[in-house]
Each structure stands twice: as structure tokens, then as C-alpha cells.
């Protein structure tokens, strides 16, 4: 490996590295504003100046390729003077806004001015003033503070794939804008706030809410989709003030979707904080004892086979396992996690996972989307696909029409026959597949909802096995799961099916065979109420709470500890950052109270024993935050039904996809902007 000398210390570096990256290997911190490791190099700010032997001028370390034999100095008076000169220019037009700027305490310019700034300016000219720009309901602009680093421009172009931000003018008159000054239409738009090194772009919903040093910071996991993005929850008292991304290169890198970031204000609205009982057609507040007695009375009076349970989309593994244990102990095996009829095969783990893994999408040379829209179903995965498209020139194909994505793709059909042609080797796509070493097939839930859902999964799996695309080193079979609870529910066996019928629960529900229906956070399951006695347990008074006979106040995901399994099969910990309001409590405690009222004994002694038992029941579990142990049985299952059927990708109401998002004012504002753009024909 080539070597470079930095401050008298010889360091080995990889070919292609810049001087700045080599300095980081030597544990030497280089100040920067425009440089970001996930973006292309711009070399705008010049704050990263260093001294290079035999160079008469300081060099920009972010843009200079490291070379064998270079001698770099980063702490000389020459370097300090150069950086101080750059800082003086940056501050020449920068307003004295620190006391009222939301970036205060987290500002790169503020931090670096401490080391390289002057206590006074030599510039006597008036500072420039730039009109603020409109960028939508999420991004607040104060463009006088802008230092023209262009991080936001590069992010919109390279990562988000929605190039709506750019620069107009030159030199001092340069301005960053959205051209037509419309709201950004990217689902990743708010990441530009994190990227901005000054206070030019700040969070509009969070404006003037709190200072960073006032907030309690909790590392956690996002549950708005099944990706499992790493997040940090910042709270003030019990109130969640903001959610920020955490770095995890294997999953979300350092990005999160706008919904993951801003749906948190919905945690304050429409909360269920007391039990409710329906009396004379109206829900009225009740005491816990009264609600528990009524539930016990109902359960005792009904045959166990007439009692059923259903969980929602944001339910933890501990909640799933404790709920299943509760139902089984009262004699019921009627439980289900699916909100709609889509085919599942739980016989082996690869049948319901994203087997290629998220970070290895970048290695793929061919991607086929089958009945899915990654942009709305899993925004972070969509960003990875774009990264592969840009970096590797990966060819992307689609069966079914996903609409506007952030990369080019070729549609090869919109029906089941298009899949059948690939399996039989009759499609033009097969020629591309022959030359592919690491293809990825991504099957969406829309494809599994078809009558041919079994055919889609099983026959494609057989085809991939036959052609050696499912091996120990590479698995091309991937399911794009939408809900955070889905993989965990399959792992723990929270479903009702048999060999002949994949939808036993739904058939019984439609026939009205259940007399007691217990819903836990279940708001997206369509129920036509007849004479069922419905118990609803959840954090928000959403869709199914309206038809319930009893409502029990549960905790939201930020208010209880819990494990979640993401679509890759990683078990991750969602940590308690706040606490439930009023009389609301953690889900497992409610099951325990009901069971104690019924049987005069506890379901579990404590949360620790519940977690330990839950983990023991997760197949192929390796460790927290790790991929599951390898399982490659290659069990093949016959699919008898086949009929040509159109593949329609069912649209997702992206900003209103769950109860928390539907309660959020910010998500409502985003949705209104989206619908307005759609109406005007300006949506990307």
C-alpha cells in the first residue's frame, strides 16, 4: 500500500483517497464545510487547507488526491494563517444571529470560528442580505447565513435523485434556491437540514422549540417502515421534540425519510390516555378495574375458538410474543398480523426476508422490481437502489408500473405472464440475466396480494435456485416488506394458516365467526362490524378505535422498550425515550393485568424475563443488530394456481400510512403539498 507522511508520521492509505481522508487515518482532524464523505467533492469552502512540501500555496485537502511520498503538515503557522483568512471571508457576510439561530450549539461554523475566527472584522462594507426561499413545510430558510458550500445541492442531485435545488448568480451574489421556489418533492428532503453546516437551512416544525443542550437524547429505531433506520429521539420532559438519524452504514447510512423524522408531532395528538367503554352507543371514560372486569366477563362467556387477536404495523416483538402467549393461555389460536391478504410462506426464513441485505444493493448489477414502489414503501432502500444506479450504472427493470422513481427503469410488462416468460426463458430480460453475476429480484406486497401470489413467490424462488442465484454467497430473492412488525410476527408464528388456505383468519373474519376481536395497534385492518365485541388497545384513537366496545390506552413506540426485526432479519432495539401519558401503559403490562384478572396469575414476572423468552423463540437469532444466522434449506413448494392477472401496484398514502402519521400536523401539511403538486402536475 502507498504511504504518505502527515505531521511527521508515516501512514498507509488506499489508492484513490484524498489527502483529507489520509489525514483522518492519522487521527488528524481537518476543518471542513463543503466536504462530506457521502457526497461528491466540490472544493468550495477552502477551510480544509493544509501545507504540502514543495507547494508554494496551501492546498485544499478534500480535492487533492493522496500520492506516494507526499509530506503534509496540518498544524503549522502557515496553515493556521490560511484557515483564519478563509474564516474571515466566510464571516464577512455572515449575520450575528447565533443567539436566535436554531443551529446554535450544533453549528460547524460556530465551532470552527472558535479556533480560527477573529474578535473583530476588517471589513467595513455592509453585509449582504438575501431573501429567504420557500422550500416547503419542512425546511426553514435564512439564506443570508448561507456560505455556498452546496451540500444541499449535491444531496438533492446525487442521493435524493430529485434535482430541485441549485445555484443562481455568481460570487457574492450566488444564491441557493429551488428555482421556482416550490416545495421539495423528495421523501428525503429534510436531510439537507442535517447537511447544512450553518443555520441557512433549519427545521421549520422544530423552530424555536428547544436548545440541543436541553434535550434528552435516546438512541433508538424507526418503525415507520420495515427498514429499521437508526435514529436518535430527542425529548423535553415527556414530549418528543425531534428525531434525527444515526449513522449505520449497513442500513440507512446517515439518512432518514421525512416521515421517520417528522411524524413525531403526532405522538402528542389524538392520544388515548384512559380506558373507554361503549355505553348506549357512545364511548365514555372508565376506570381500569371496570374495563378489566368487563373484558374478563366477555372472555369467560365466549368459547375460546370464537376469540381472535390482531396486531398492527408498529408492534414490538415483546408485545407480539406476550399477546400470543395470552391468547394461547385462554385457549385461542386465532391470531394474525396481516392487514390485507398477501401470501406468506413461513417454512424457512428466506421466504420473507430481504436476503441480499440493504448495503449489498450497491454490489448488484441488475435489479428487477416486481409489484413494488420502493420510493414510497421503503424510501431508504430506494436511495440505495439509486446509489447503485449512479455508482455502478446498474440496469433496473420493473414488472408493474411503480410510477415516478428517482432513477431510470425499463418496464418489461404489467401482468403475471411477464413473470412466467422469465421463468420459461422466453423474455428479453433473460438475456440480461444470463450476463448478470449479482442480480436482485425485489417482490412487493402488491404482487403477493394477487390470486397468483403463491405462484409469484414460489416459482420465482425455484427459478433463482435452478439458475444458481440463491447460494451461500448471494441470494437474489428479496421481499419488500412494508410494516415494522411483519418479519417479527412471522418469526414468532403470529399467523393463522394451513397447507390449503393461507388466509384462514380473514375467511373466518368475513364469515363473522369471531365473537370477541382483540386489536392491538391495529388500525389498517378493514373490519365490517356486526355483533363482534371489539377490544382496541393502542396509543391513538384512530380508525378501529371508533368501532371498539372497549378501548385500552397503550404506549407508543417511543414510550416503551421493545425489539423489532427489520426486513433483513436484524433484531434491533427500540429504546424508551419518553413515557406514556396519564393512565396509558406498556402493552405487555395490559395483557398481564387482563390475565391476572382472569386466572389470578401473571403472564410474565417482569420485562426482562419476557424479553429473554421472546429472543429464545426467534429462529436463527444471532445477536442484536446482527443479521440472522445463515439458513439455506432451499425448500421448494408447489404452486398449483395460475391465471394471467394484471399486476397493479397499490398506492400508499405515504404521509398518512399509520396512526401516528395521521395524527401529525406536519405530515398533514406535507400531504397537502403533495396533493397540490399532483393536481398541478409538478410532482416528481
pLDDT tens readout for residues 40-84: 999 999 999 999 998 999 999 999 999 999 999 999 999 999 999
Quick one: average pLDDT of 503-513? Answer: 95
The whole-chain average pLDDT of the chain stands at: 94
Cell of 626: 446482527
Listed in sequence order, the DSSP H helices in 230-378 are 258-262, 288-301, 317-329, 374-377
Instruction: Establish how many alpha carbons lie within 13 A of residue 511's alpha carbon, considering only the half-sphere containing its beta carbon.
Output: 8
Burial class, 253, CB count within 10 angstroms (exposed 0-12 / middle 13-18 / buried 19+): buried
The pLDDT of residue 75 = 92
Task: Check: CB of residue 378 under 8 Å from CB of residue 352.
Answer: no
Distance, in Å, from the CA atom of 147 to the CA atom of 157, rounded to the nearest integer, reads 19
Q: What is the layout of strands, in order, in the sheet containing 71-73?
A: 9-12, 3-6, 71-73, 49-52, 59-60
Tally of CB atoms within 10 A around 342: 21
Tally of CB atoms within 10 A around 311: 30
User: Shortest CA distance to 106 belongs to which of 234, 20, 288?
Assistant: 234
Write the DSSP string, 462-527. HHHHHTT-BSSS-B-EEEE---TTHHHHHHTT-----SS-TTHHHHHHHHT--SEEEEES--SS--
Task: Check: CB of residue 334 under 8 Å from CB of residue 515.
Answer: no
Residue 589 neighbours by CB under 8 Å, 6+ apart: none
Task: Check: CB of residue 407 under 8 Å from CB of residue 414.
Answer: no
In 495-651, DSSP assigns E strands to: 516-520, 533-538, 550-553, 562-565, 571-574
pLDDT in tens, 393-403: 999 999 999 99
Tally of CB atoms within 10 A around 73: 16
The pLDDT of residue 499 is above 90: no
pLDDT in tens, 131-158: 999 999 999 999 999 999 999 999 999 9
The pLDDT of residue 295 = 96
pLDDT top residue among 543 and 641: 543
Return the percent helix, strand and coil in the chain, to nearest 5. Answer: 35, 20, 50
The pLDDT of residue 641 is above 80: no
Quick one: average pLDDT of 245-252? Answer: 96
Helix (H) / strand (E) element for 79: namely helix 77-92
Quick one: average pLDDT of 301-327? Answer: 97
Distance, in Å, from the CA atom of 214 to the CA atom of 512, rounded to the nearest integer, reads 53
Distance, in Å, from the CA atom of 635 to the CA atom of 10, rounded to the nearest integer, reads 54
pLDDT band, residue 681 (cuts 50/70/90): low
Angle between helices 317-329 and 607-616 (to 10 degrees): 90
Helix, strand, or coil (residue 150): coil
The pLDDT of residue 682 = 60
Residue 321 neighbours by CB under 8 Å, 6+ apart: 492, 610, 613, 614, 617
pLDDT in tens, 351-374: 999 999 999 999 999 999 999 999
CA dihedral 189, 194, 200, 205 (to 10 degrees): 70
Tell me, what DSSP letter sits at residue 217?
A: E
- Residues of the chain above pLDDT 90, percent: 89
Distance, in Å, from the CA atom of 90 to the CA atom of 94, rounded to the nearest integer, reads 7
Distance, in Å, from the CA atom of 491 to the CA atom of 489, rounded to the nearest integer, reads 5
Quick one: average pLDDT of 557-579? Answer: 97
The pLDDT of residue 461 is above 60: yes
- Residue indicated by cell numbers 511527521: 8
User: Shortest CA distance to 578 belongs to which of 243, 167, 348?
Assistant: 243
The pLDDT of residue 67 = 94
Distance, in Å, from the CA atom of 505 to the CA atom of 310, rounded to the nearest integer, reads 9
Residue 573 neighbours by CB under 8 Å, 6+ apart: 220, 221, 561, 562, 563, 624, 625
Residue 579 neighbours by CB under 8 Å, 6+ apart: 238, 555, 559
Give the angle subtended at the CA of 280 by the CAs of 278 and 282, to the nearest 5°: 50
Helix (H) / strand (E) element for 440: namely strand 439-444
Task: Check: CB of residue 115 under 8 Å from CB of residue 124.
Answer: no
- Residues of the chain above pLDDT 70, percent: 99
- List the beta bridge partners of residue 220: 231
Quick check: pTM over 0.85? Answer: yes
The pLDDT of residue 120 = 79
pLDDT band, residue 266 (cuts 50/70/90): very high
Tell me, what DSSP letter sits at residue 646?
A: B
The pLDDT of residue 684 is above 90: no
Residue 489 neighbours by CB under 8 Å, 6+ apart: 311, 315, 320, 337, 495
The pLDDT of residue 529 = 87
Listed in sequence order, the DSSP H helices in 136-287 are 151-154, 191-195, 258-262
Task: Check: CB of residue 163 under 8 Å from CB of residue 118.
Answer: no
Helix (H) / strand (E) element for 412: namely strand 410-413
**With helix as H, strand as E and coil as C, how does 340-376 read?**
CCCCCCCCCHHHHCECCCCHHHHHCCEEEEECCCHHH
Cell of 133: 426561499
Distance, in Å, from the CA atom of 313 to the CA atom of 485, rounded to the nearest integer, reads 5
Q: Name the region of 215 (left: φ>0; alpha: ψ -120 to 50; beta: rest).
A: beta
Give the angle subtended at the CA of 260 by the CAs of 259 and 261, to the nearest 5°: 90
User: Shortest CA distance to 456 belongs to which of 372, 397, 382?
Assistant: 372
Phi, psi values for residue 502, rounded to 5°:
-85, -10
Amino acid at each position: 500500500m502507498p504511504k504518505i507522511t502527515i505531521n511527521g508520521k508515516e501512514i498507509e492509505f488506499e489508492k484513490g483517497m484524498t489527502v483529507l481522508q489520509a489525514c483522518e487515518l492519522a487521527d488528524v482532524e481537518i476543518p471542513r464545510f463543503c466536504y462530506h464523505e457521502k457526497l461528491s467533492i466540490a472544493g468550495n469552502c477552502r477551510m480544509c487547507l493544509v501545507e504540502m512540501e514543495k507547494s508554494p500555496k496551501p492546498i485544499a485537502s478534500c480535492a487533492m488526491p493522496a500520492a506516494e511520498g507526499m509530506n503534509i503538515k496540518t498544524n503549522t503557522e502557515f496553515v493556521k494563517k490560511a484557515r483564519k483568512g478563509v474564516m474571515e471571508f466566510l464571516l464577512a457576510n455572515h449575520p450575528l444571529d447565533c443567539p436566535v439561530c436554531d443551529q446554535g450549539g450544533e453549528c460547524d461554523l460556530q465551532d470552527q470560528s472558535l479556533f480560527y475566527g477573529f474578535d473583530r472584522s476588517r471589513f467595513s462594507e455592509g453585509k449582504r442580505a438575501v431573501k429567504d426561499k420557500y422550500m416547503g413545510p419542512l425546511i426553514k430558510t435564512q439564506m443570508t447565513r448561507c456560505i455556498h458550500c452546496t451540500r444541499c445541492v449535491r444531496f438533492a442531485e446525487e442521493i435524493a435523485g430529485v434535482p430541485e435545488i441549485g445555484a443562481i448568480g455568481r460570487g457574492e451574489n450566488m444564491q441557493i434556491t429551488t428555482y421556482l421556489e416550490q416545495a421539495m418533492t423528495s421523501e428525503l428532503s429534510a436531510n439537507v437540514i442535517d447537511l447544512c453546516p450553518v443555520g441557512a437551512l433549519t427545521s421549520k416544525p422544530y423552530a424555536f422549540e428547544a436548545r440541543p443542550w436541553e434535550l434528552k437524547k435516546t438512541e433508538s429505531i424507526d418503525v415507520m417502515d420495515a427498514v429499521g433506520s437508526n435514529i436518535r429521539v430527542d425529548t423535553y420532559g415527556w414530549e418528543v421534540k425531534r428525531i434525527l438519524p444515526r449513522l449505520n452504514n449497513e442500513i440507512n447510512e446517515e439518512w432518514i425519510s421525512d416521515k421517520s423524522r417528522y411524524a413525531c408531532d403526532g405522538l402528542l395528538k389524538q392520544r388515548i390516555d384512559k380506558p373507554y367503554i361503549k355505553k348506549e352507543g357512545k364511548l365514555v371514560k372508565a376506570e381500569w378495574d371496570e374495563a378489566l372486569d368487563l373484558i374478563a366477563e366477555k372472555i369467560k362467556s365466549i368459547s375460546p375458538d370464537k376469540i381472535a387477536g390482531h396486531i398492527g404495523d408498529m408492534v414490538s416483538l415483546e408485545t407480539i410474543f406476550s399477546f400470543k402467549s395470552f391468547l394461547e393461555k385462554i385457549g385461542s389460536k386465532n391470531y394474525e398480523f396481516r392487514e390485507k391478504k398477501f401470501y406468506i410462506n413461513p417454512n424457512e426464513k428466506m421466504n420473507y426476508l430481504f436476503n441480499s441485505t440493504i448495503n449489498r444493493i450497491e454490489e448488484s448489477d441488475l435489479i428487477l422490481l416486481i409489484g413494488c414502489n420502493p420510493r414510497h414503501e421503503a424510501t431508504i432502500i430506494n436511495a440505495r437502489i439509486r446509489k447503485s444506479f449512479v455508482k455502478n450504472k446498474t440496469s433496473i427493470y420493473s414488472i408493474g408500473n411503480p410510477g415516478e422513481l428517482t432513477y431510470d427503469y425499463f418496464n418489461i410488462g404489467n401482468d403475471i405472464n411477464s413473470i412466467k416468460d422469465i421463468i420459461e426463458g422466453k423474455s428479453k430480460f433473460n438475456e440480461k440475466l444470463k450476463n448478470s453475476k449479482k442480480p436482485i429480484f425485489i417482490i412487493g406486497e402488491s404482487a403477493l396480494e394477487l390470486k397468483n401470489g403463491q405462484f409469484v413467490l414460489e416459482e420465482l424462488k425455484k427459478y433463482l435456485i435452478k439458475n444458481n442465484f440463491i447460494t451461500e454467497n448471494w441470494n437474489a430473492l428479496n421481499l419488500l416488506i412494508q410494516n415494522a412488525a411483519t418479519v417479527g410476527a412471522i418469526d414468532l408464528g403470529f399467523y393463522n394458516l394451513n397447507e390449503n388456505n393461507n388466509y384462514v383468519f380473514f375467511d373466518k373474519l368475513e364469515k363473522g365467526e369471531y365473537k370477541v376481536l382483540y386489536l392491538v395497534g391495529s388500525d389498517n385492518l378493514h373490519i365490517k362490524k356486526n355483533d363482534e365485541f371489539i377490544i382496541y388497545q393502542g396509543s391513538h384513537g384512530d380508525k378501529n378505535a371508533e368501532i371498539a366496545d372497549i378501548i385500552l390506552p397503550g404506549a407508543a413506540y417511543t414510550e416503551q422498550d421493545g425489539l423489532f426485526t427489520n426486513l433483513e432479519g436484524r433484531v434491533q432495539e427500540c429504546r424508551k425515550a419518553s413515557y406514556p401519558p396519564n393512565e396509558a401503559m406498556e402493552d405487555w403490562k395490559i395483557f398481564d393485568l387482563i390475565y391476572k384478572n382472569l386466572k389470578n396469575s401473571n403472564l410474565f414476572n417482569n420485562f426482562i424475563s419476557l424479553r429473554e423468552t421472546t429472543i429464545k423463540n426467534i429462529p436463527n437469532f444471532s445477536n442484536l443488530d446482527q443479521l440472522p444466522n445463515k439458513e439455506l434449506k432451499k425448500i421448494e413448494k408447489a404452486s398449483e394456481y395460475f391465471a394471467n392477472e394484471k399486476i397493479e401496484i397499490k398506492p400508499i398514502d405515504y404521509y398518512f400510512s399509520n396512526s401516528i402519521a395521521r395524527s401529525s400536523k406536519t405530515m398533514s401539511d406535507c400531504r397537502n403539498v403533495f396533493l397540490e403538486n399532483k393536481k398541478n402536475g409538478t410532482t416528481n
